[in-house]
Amino acid sequence: MRKFIDLHLHLDGSVPVATIKKLISEHHYPIPSDEKLRQELSVDSNCKSLDQFLEKFALPNKLMQTRHDIKTIVYDLLVELKEQGLVYAEIRFAPQLHTKKRLTQENVIKAAIEGLNQFLIDQKQENSNQPELHAGLILCLMRFANNQKENMETVELAKKFLNHGVVGLDLAGAEGPIPNIKYKQFFDRAQELGIPYTIHAGEAAGPDSIRQALEMGAKRIGHGIRCTEDKKLTQELIDRQIILECCATSNMNTKAFDQIDSYPIKKLLHKGMKVTLNSDDMTVSNTNLPREYKLLEEKTNLTSEEETTLYLNAVDAAFTSPDEKIRLRALIQK
């Protein structure tokens, strides 16, 4: 069985459908038909934009407002990821989105860590021959107009829980209306506190958003695929060995890229770009990481040697300890 590493995985976009059904029942909400539920949770080929894509997060977020809900979702997602063959994952979410029922951001983070720790305990007791799945949490700041206080609180909490379940920060949300550079103060603070971070850029917005992320000190870029529109920027990313967290199916869904046959991850890899392949939102895009690799094998002739390079790039990029990187390299090179 292959060993996969996912660095760009949104919790609210990847809630297992079985978990959604379980929580709907627990909350005594009306139970939709399977077809209606699929329409609420997932996009299809008719998805026209990132904004339409983001509409699919409404129901999961409604079910992520109690400690029990969040702990359950993190735990169930990790179980599913291990079944897929993942050995390392970084799961990202925005604590400020889950405070509608009086939870604080700190409560939300603690609940997610409880789910993670419970999974790790149960995994240890399995005595399975399968390699262990290790995971960390990335806390997202949000691109909203008037949430400076909430964003700074997320930064400070990331420091409080760093290396205790939390591994880094991100900037997420609708890309375009507010430029990335407007959030520089939060990443200046993250640098002061020694918190690793990645920034969404080059998805709905073009090369300028990537340049702004670089100006903010990002060494990892969430998506970044639209760097291909600017040769000079592409070369800068190669020269600086900036990591791109590419998400093929998601990029098709949001129209960041329009032809899977010409998805440029293979071309960028051969130019020396530090690219990785990730799932982004498993439920919204109806995908997972093994499927992403299979898709690119079929559509772009991605080879096993190229896949190994993608895995090793992910190890280099991971917000984790040197010992964990040694473990992951050993698993990949077996």
Q: CA 200, 188, 163, 118: dihedral to nearest 10 degrees?
A: -40
State the burial class of residue 166 (Cβ atoms within 10 Å of its Cβ: 0-12, 13-18, 19+): buried
b/e 135-157 (16+ beta carbons within 10 angstroms → b): bbbbbbbbbeeebeebbebbbeb
Among all residues, which ones are annotated catalytic? Answer: 203
Of the candidates 65, 63, 66, 67, the residue with the CA atom closest to the CA atom of residue 17 = 63
Residue 248: φ, ψ to 5°:
-65, -55
CA distance 49 to 169: 25
Long-range CB pairs of 41-49, under 8 A, 24+ apart, other chains included: 41/17, 41/283, 41/284, 42/283, 42/284, 42/285, 42/286, 43/253, 43/284, 43/285, 43/286, 47/253, 47/254, 47/255, 48/255, 49/204, 49/254, 49/255
CA distance 168 to 170: 7
